[in-house]
Structure formats: C-alpha cells, structure tokens
Amino acid sequence: MALTYNIGEATIEGLAYVGSLARLTGGAARSIFIDPFRGRRFRLSRAVHQAMSVGVEAVPIVSLISFFVGTILALQGAYQLRKLGAMQLVAAAVAIVITRELGPLMTAIMVIGRSGSAFAAEIGTMKVNEEIDALETMALEPIHFLVAPKFLAMILMMPCLTTWADFMGVLGGGFFGVMSAGFTWGSYFRATMDALVLRDIVTGLIKSVMFGIVITAVGCREGFATGLGSEEVGRSTTSSVVKSIFLVIVVDLIFTAIFYFTAPS
C-alpha cells in the first residue's frame, strides 16, 4: 500500500513539475510571439546578449569536445569494422551517429553545464537579493523580462551550435580516417556526404531545439524555486543540471522513437 502511495505521489509531483515547465515555456512563447503584436515591446537586445553568451561563447568548447567525440567514435567504429574488413564504412558510421544523436546530445550537455546552470544561478541570486520582487514592483513581469530572451536565444543558438558540433565531429572522425584508415580528406568527406540524407541532419536539429527549450525551462524554473539564503543558489544550480540532463535524455528518447516509427521504410 505504501509503495503504491509513494509511486502515485512521485507521479503527481513529476507531472506537476512538467506542468510548471510548460507554464514557463507558454509564458515565454506568449512574450516572444504574441505580445509584440499587442503593442508590448520585446527587447531583442537582451536576446542578442543571451545569444552571445549561450551560443558564440560556447563555440570553442563545443568545437573541441565534438572533435574529440568524432575521433573517439571513429576509433570505436574502426575497432569493429576492421574485423569485417569494412573500414571504408567508418566515415558513414561517424556521420550518421554524430548528426542524428551525438552532435545534438553532446551540445545539449555542454549547454546545460555552461548556460542552464548559469540561468538557475542568475535567477536564483536575483531572487535571494529581492531583484525579482523589485521587477514585480516596477510592473515588469519576470517571465517577459528575464525568461523570454533566454528562450529566444536558446531556440536560435542550439541548432547553430549543433550544426557546428556536427561539422567538428565529422572533422574529428576524418582526422582518424586520414591518419589511420587510408582515407584522404577528399574521400572521407565524399563518403560522409554519400552516407548522409537530409533527414539525418534535420532530425538532429529538431531535437536540438527541443533540448534548448528543456534546458531553458528547467534552468529558469529551478532559479525561481530558489529558497532564501545563498546556499540555496548552489542547490538550485546543481538541481538544474541534474534535472536538465535527465529530461534531455527523456526528450531524446521520445523524439528518436517518433523519428524511427515515422521514417519512410
């Protein structure tokens, strides 16, 4: 009986949490897409500032890690393919795994570490310092002022970062291909292009947008849920990272399943 009760309670809590994320996302979507047509200004400068932080400043670390992941993937692929005498398939394997899965996922995990946690810390600190209250007393809605620019920046930057991560991952695979698998740079990229179809790239980019929405919603939600005291900011930052990673994996599973079952045979 107690087990059933605990499962029920955890399910209700989980659904309530997802509901709070949906409410935050809906509020931000209204601020970005509807309010400007009702005469309420949306300041693009804030979104641009966030986009610089979320996207442009993340390029070096995303490049480096994606390159290494591409190389690791090629090494692991070659380990099996060598036994089958199919080393020429390394380029195809790397390209498909990177564009469909690891490019968006690794980018999301890096963005969680850099930006999702920063969103939670920023909003949490503002809450502790009464800055959120100050916004409300100035008739500035925190979702419109703080959250919406982050959503817009993330929706725009995640596909860009993911595209770049895909390219760097392929480059990393190519590094191994050229050094140890008998490819030239030209033949490696030709093999990559032959293996990829547009659907591989598009599904990865759709997932990246969904990941961006999840990361922003969780980061902001945890920031607003920060209690009193500076140690609470640390708690909400940690919580945002753990919950974002979990929810990104869940969303990844859902969308991968959707793309699998809707793929033309």
Q: Which stretch binds another protein (CB under 8 A): 11-19, 86-94, 100-108, 136-144?
A: 136-144
With respect to another protein, which residue has the nearer C-beta, 106 or 126? 126
R_g over Cα of the chain: 21
Q: Under DSSP, is residue 130 helix (H, G, I), strand (E, B) or coil?
A: coil
Contacts to another protein from residues 97-126, by CB under 8 A: 125-126
CB of 11 to another protein, least distance (A): 24
Binding segment for another protein (CB under 8 A), chosen from 109-117, 139-147, 159-167, 238-246, is 139-147
The span from the CA of 81 to the CA of 89, in Å, is 7
Q: Is 139 in the site for another protein (CB under 8 A)?
A: yes
In the complex, least distance from residue 187 CB atom to another protein, rounded to whole angstroms = 50
By the rule CB under 8 A, 131 interacts with another protein: yes
The CB density around residue 17, as the number of other CB atoms within 10 Å, is: 15
- Residues written for the chain: 265
Nearer to another protein, 47 or 110 (CB): 47
The encoded tokens of residue 48 equal: 């641009």
Task: Compare residues 53 and 76 and give the one whose CB is closer to another protein.
Answer: 53
Measure the CA–CA gap between 242 and 177, rounded to whole angstroms.
Answer: 35
d(CA 263, CA 265): 6
Per CB under 8 A, 158 contacts another protein: no
Q: How many C-beta atoms surround the C-beta of residue 177 within 10 A?
A: 29
41 binds another protein (CB under 8 A): yes
Contact between 136 and another protein by CB under 8 A: the answer reads: yes
In the complex, the smallest distance separating the C-beta of residue 238 from another protein, rounded to whole angstroms, is: 21
Provide the minimum distance between the beta carbon of 136 and another protein in the complex, in angstroms, as a whole number. 6
Sequence letter at residue 124? G
Nearest one of 213, 46, 36, 25 to 145, comparing CA atoms: 46
Instruction: Name the token pair of 222.
Output: 């945890």
Binding pattern for the stretch 51-80 against another protein, x by CB under 8 A and - elsewhere: ------------------------------
Q: Measure the N-to-C terminal CA separation of the chain; round to a whole number of Å.
A: 46
Positions that interact with another protein (CB under 8 A): 41, 125-126, 129-131, 133-134, 136-141, 145
